[in-house]
Structures are given as C-alpha cells and as structure tokens.
C-alpha cells in the first residue's frame, strides 16, 4: 500500500519552540477570512445522501462533481455542517492517536510538458480531547494544513481531517486542492462519487480543467472520465495483488480514509466533461 506515515524526530527544546510558533501561526490563521472559490457548475448524480461539503482551496477550481445534494466550496466541511462534535474519549487501553503527522498516500504521479507532477492525500487522525486538538492544529500549521474555516481547535475533536495536494514542477508549487473532515459514519456506496476538476498547472486560472481528483465507495470497480473531445479514460480499481505504488491511474485505498480515491488526466488539447462510476 502506498500510504506511509512519516516519522517524527525525537522531541527536543528546538522542536518545542517550533511547535509553539506553529500554534501561534494557527491562532493567527483563525482571523483570516477565506472567500469562496469561483466555479462554473455543480453536477449531481447517483443516490441522494447526506451532503458532504468540500472546500476547494484553489481559485483555479472550476468544476465540482458530486452525488450529494449540495456541495460547498468554502469553510471547513463537516459532512453536513455538524460542528462541535462530541469528544471521542475511547478506551483507556486504546493507543493515543498520532496527531503530529498525517498518513500520506500518493494518488497519482506523472510528467507533463517536461515537468513532473503528483497528487497526494494527507489524512490526520481524530484528536480525542482539547489538548490533542491543539497539538494537531499546531502540527497542521507546520505542514501547511490550516483548515480554511477553523475557528477553535476543539472543532477537530472526534473528526479526521484530510488535504489533497498537488505538486507541479518545483516544490514551491505544492498546493492544497481539497480539504474536508469526516467521521467513521461518512462513507459512500453504490455509484456515489465526488470529484473536482482543475487545471494541471498551478496559476493557470483560465487553463483547461485537465486534472480530475475524486473519491468513490470502496465497492466501485471502475470510473470513467469523459473529455470534451469525446474520448474517455477508464480508471479501474487496483487489483488486490497490484502494486499500490505504481504510476497507473487506478482507484486506490488510502490510509485513514473510509473511501477510495482516483485521479485521471485529460490528454493535451481537451478538458473535463464528466465523470461517473461505471461499474
């Protein structure tokens, strides 16, 4: 499986200072108002279910696709707007969650116009109490994962958070595409699908929406991405014996996520038209 949890160095006085700074940055981020990213259309299909809310954290995002009744593109999502979730205390024998590092899964990699790109997913474990929530918020700041509408660290309690990021060319282009939170109950089924289509190259606000990133139920066997020129890209589920670290476009599981993920890329000269679970 391609999901790897990065390892922290041992705690030192320097790390404590760095964490304190990160917490201050996180507190400062609470005062920032994030506007709504523009998009052209929201398409809906499949079974209606409790609405998920995705925050598309890039102004270049133009198309959202979903099976939910409503999709929002601002604020920290809560799978239906639930805020202030009840603390998850857990059993005294359960190990403490790792709130210092996310579980990382590479969803896709490739080369386009001579530049390497990749899309990866970071999933943060749900903190159980206020102390763990503040520690996680500080760690998120170090990773550049400040939820766009987070006002109090306590809003993280009992909820997992995830961030889908895209790298294109040099490391400075690393950018959050999607952010959301979920609980164990936030699953998908049947032909449910949620996806976002964006330009592959950062900063190309008027560029073609060639890159499609989305999530589907663990039972989905195939996703079909249809492009404006009429061509299609079939994305099959990774085989049980398959290499999760392969460069192939496949539906793959991700560590810490209750749903599976996929990426597809339109050929040059065309762009996104539609996407659906076809099997």
pLDDT one-digit tens code per residue, 62-110? 455 665 433 333 223 333 333 333 444 455 567 889 999 999 999 999 9
Task: Give the DSSP letter string of 62-127.
Answer: -EEEESSS---SSS---TTT--SPPP----TTSPPP--SS-EEEEEEEEEETTEEEEEEEEEEPPP
Would you tell me the crossing angle of helices 13-29 and 130-143 to the nearest 10 degrees? 90
The rounded distance, in Å, linking the Cα atoms of 150 and 219 is 32
Q: What is the mean pLDDT of residues 45-50?
A: 34
What DSSP state is assigned to residue 229? T
| pTM, full prediction | 0.73
The rounded distance, in Å, linking the Cα atoms of 178 and 156 is 17
Q: What is the mean pLDDT of residues 158-174?
A: 86
25 class by beta-carbon count within 10 Å (0-12 exposed, 13-18 middle, 19+ buried): middle
The rounded distance, in Å, linking the Cα atoms of 268 and 41 is 22
Residue 4's pLDDT is 43
Residue 38's pLDDT is 33
Going across the sheet that includes 211-216, the strands are 41-44, 63-66, 193-198, 211-216, 260-265
- The overall average pLDDT reported for the chain is 74
Residues of the chain above pLDDT 70, percent: 62
The residue with tokens 């065309």 is: 270
Residue 156's pLDDT is 95
Residue 202's pLDDT is 80
Report whether pLDDT(32) > 70.
Answer: no
Residues of the chain above pLDDT 90, percent: 47
């Amino acid at each position: 499986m391609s999901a790897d949890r990065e390892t922290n160095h041992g705690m030192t006085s320097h790390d404590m200072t760095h964490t304190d700074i990160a917490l201050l940055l996180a507190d400062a981020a609470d005062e920032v108002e994030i506007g709504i990213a523009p998009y052209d259309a929201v398409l809906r299909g499949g079974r209606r279910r409790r609405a998920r809310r995705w925050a598309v954290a890039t102004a270049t995002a133009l198309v959202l696709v979903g099976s939910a009744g409503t999709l929002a593109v601002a604020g920290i999502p809560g799978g239906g707007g639930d805020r202030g979730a009840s603390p998850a205390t857990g059993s005294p024998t359960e190990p403490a969650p790792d709130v210092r590092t996310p579980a990382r899964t590479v969803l896709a990699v490739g080369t386009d116009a001579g530049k390497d790109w990749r899309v990866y997913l970071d999933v943060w474990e749900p903190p159980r109490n206020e102390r763990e929530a503040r520690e996680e918020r500080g760690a998120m700041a170090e990773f550049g994962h400040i939820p766009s509408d987070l006002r109090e660290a306590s809003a993280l309690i009992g909820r997992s958070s995830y961030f889908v990021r895209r790298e294109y060319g040099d490391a400075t282009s690393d950018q959050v595409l999607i952010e959301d939170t979920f609980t164990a109950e936030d699953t998908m089924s049947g032909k449910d699908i949620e996806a976002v289509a964006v330009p592959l190259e950062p900063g190309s606000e008027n560029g073609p929406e060639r890159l499609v990133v989305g999530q589907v139920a663990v039972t989905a066997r195939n996703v079909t991405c249809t492009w404006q020129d009429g061509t299609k890209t079939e994305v099959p589920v990774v085989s049980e014996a398959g290499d999760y670290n392969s460069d192939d476009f496949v539906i793959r599981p991700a560590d810490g996520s209750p749903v599976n993920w996929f990426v597809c890329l339109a050929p040059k000269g065309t762009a996104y038209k539609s996407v659906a679970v076809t099997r």
